[in-house]
Amino acid sequence: MIYLSALIGPFFLLLIEGFLPFPFLVEEIYKFFLVKKPIETKIVIIIGFLFSLSEAIFYVMNPFYSLITNPYSLVLRLLVVFPMHTTTLLIMNYYNKKRDLWYLGLILGVFIHFLFNNLNML
């Protein structure tokens, strides 16, 4: 069930992000709940891949996306976004294992995603 949530989550998040001004916050809160219960590292990596794949597909399908004519845009987007989403998930999972520090994982995940969005612009 967690794999399906990671795969379809970006679709619903894109709808929500149209109304809320901070997409990095919305995505990280959603991903936080995916790993709220500490899980194995390999499962976190699979979740990160599925989330990134789904987000990349929906992003490239957007008619306003500038790289839509490039056949490699999906792969390029996935190669850039996958490490960021996986890193934030791993950080949140790590701090969720330390019961009193779960909020630190969420704050770090949001901060990393914020930096990624503002420095990368892909």
Please tell me whether residue 37 adopts helix, strand or coil conformation: coil
pTM summary value = 0.85
CA distances from 83 to 36, 38, 54 (A): 20, 20, 14
Furthest C-alpha separation in the chain? 47
Domains in the chain, number:
1
Per residue of the chain (122 residues), give pLDDT as tens.
888 888 888 888 887 877 887 888 889 999 999 998 888 999 999 999 999 989 888 877 766 655 555 666 778 778 888 999 999 999 999 999 887 889 999 999 999 999 988 886 54
d(CA 89, CA 85): 6
Domain boundaries, position 8: 2-120
